[in-house]
Amino acid sequence: MISPGNQPGPLTSYNLFTSDPVLPDAVRREGGNLELLEDFGEQVGSLEIREWGRLANKNVPILHTHDASGNRIDEIEYHPAYHSLLNLAVESGIHCMRYEKPPGDGAYVTRNALMGLITQIEMGHGCPTSMTSGSLMALRHQPELAEIWEPLTISRSYDQQLKAPSAKSGVLLGMGMTEKQGGSDVRANTSTATPVSVGGPGREYRIEGHKWFTSAPMCDAFLVLAYAPKGMSCFLVPRVLPDETRNSLRLMRLKDKLGNRSNASAELEFDNTAAWMVGEEGRGIPTIIDMVQATRLDVANWGVSLMRQAVSQAGWHVANREAFGATLIDKPLMQNVLADLEIEVEAATLMITRLSGAHERMDIDEREQDFSRLATPIAKYWLTKQSTPVVREALECVGGNGYVEDSMMPRLYREAPLNAIWEGAGNVIALDIGRAASRNPESVEVFLDELDQSRGKDSGIDNLLDSLRADFASPVPEAEARRLVERLAIAWAATLMVQHGQPSVSEAYLMSRIGGDHGSLFGTLPTSCDLDQIARRAVPA
């Protein structure tokens, strides 16, 4: 029913989980907890929590370097709505659920779906949630440190006070890798770590140097990289020391960012900063890479959550607004645009949920580990990059109303490019795939074997899979790395579509993405597709 004045108004409360046309079935296949997700989808789809997201981004964090007496404090003030979102995430176990049950029990699949739902409403608080979740994978390289920090990390208590760990009911952990002179090339880092007495794993050091981008700098501790005498090493740097004095970790300024504005990102300096070595000296990158793998999965997940929310907003608008004598969703060209967007989101959802299942089982299934080694960077590259054009086109569906700050759309649009930069920009990820293929050829074979299960269902898929196998027969030239990852992503999505997609959606994906019956932009599907039916799948129930 069209509203008075022909203005749809904001999307009302709805269940983010049950309204998704593919997510519940995808989660069921991978063993997730549907009942928990249905309850959570109802909760985060409420107007109250959506308002938390708006307020947290409108009222950006404020850095306080000193108190009224001139004492150095290095604290950040957040709006209460940001704390409310983090509290909800922590109480829901998004940061720790994966550690509460044995691998294969479905907890990680459930956790990733929870993350995808709450970040549809607000993405910034997902950063400390994600880093905390992944940090234990690295911290466990040093058991005596994990013994102190792990019980607090897997606590479902959000304690925002800056205190010594022994005085807290729960902690959040962050990560600091990049420096201004190197960026993604962390081997160009210049920060140094000197042992206080006898050096080595678990021992105390003092760090001098800086970090150029440290997100969520009010976390209780950070895993950072610095050069020890035997090479690049990983260190745990707490904000407050065991004697309750503050560590000399200096926040220089907060970044004034395009998006992700609710989440502070700081430039910081180490000034004789206390740190404890995690893992083997000189093996810092392999130590922290387990954390990076987990956060890369989250970043890919956020790309999907932004797409889904943007297309839901577009679907709501065009289903409740008239133009040129008809409801917009009844117009064939609008149907083409919305259907094209919905196809992309459904394929992305199938990809990220399958990857969640692989990560769920990778510790107990060697083939899933091999699959994840290649599938994770493919998903990170493709899903984070696709979110930007999807969100942009969805914004155009909403029109001028989507361009003003009263709408959620500008925030979604500002968030979209960030995920392609976080945890490795496009070139870094594309090159990682080449390295994974050369170092672990079994991962290529396992990945392609899974795609081969769809052989015989579409000649275009068969031809693409033959071509991909030929590509891996010899080293891929660096300049062609992006072309390869794009084709891998489309082939993977296509095989998931023919196995699990709704028939009309699957057929449209194959005709457009595999068969090439598609233009350069969204809204150019062949008219033989069931545009009306697919477009209406985008409208939240």
Cβ 290 vs Cβ 516: under 8 Å = no
Query: Can you give the pLDDT at residue 433?
Result: 87
Pairing of strands 173-176, 221-228: parallel
Q: Which residues of the chain have pLDDT under 50?
A: none
Query: Can you give the pLDDT at residue 1?
Result: 56
Q: Domain map of the chain by residue range?
A: 159-285, 286-541
Query: Can you give the pLDDT at residue 355?
Result: 98
- The yes or no reply on domain 286-541 and CATH 1.10.10.1100 is no
Query: Can you give the pLDDT at residue 475?
Result: 84
Query: Can you give the pLDDT at residue 2?
Result: 64
Q: Of 179, 192, 538, which is closest to residue 390 (Cα–Cα)?
A: 538
Query: Can you give the pLDDT at residue 7?
Result: 85
Q: Side chain identity at 49, as an amino acid letter?
A: I
Q: Of 29, 129, 41, which is closest to residue 85 (Cα–Cα)?
A: 129
Q: Of 358, 288, 274, which is closest to residue 136 (Cα–Cα)?
A: 288
- The yes or no reply on domain 159-285 and CATH 3.30.479.30 is no
Query: Can you give the pLDDT at residue 290?
Result: 83
* 227: phi then psi, degrees, rounded to nearest 5: -85, 115
Q: Per-residue DSSP letters for 341-410?
A: HHHHHHHHHHHHHHHHHHHHHTTT-HHHHHHHHHHHHHHHHHHHHHHHHHHHHHHHHHTHHHHSTTSSHH
Cβ 220 vs Cβ 172: under 8 Å = yes
Q: Give the global pTM.
A: 0.96
Percentage of the chain lying above the pLDDT 90 cut: 89
User: Cα dist. 210→120, 180, 226, 249, 332 in Å?
Assistant: 33, 8, 10, 9, 55
Query: Can you give the pLDDT at residue 541?
Result: 83
Q: Of 439, 426, 416, 418, which is closest to residue 482 (Cα–Cα)?
A: 426
Give residues with Cβ within 8 angstroms of 175, minimum separation 6: 131, 134, 135, 214, 222, 223, 224, 288, 291, 295
Q: Cα–Cα distance between 494 and 303 in angstroms, integer?
A: 19
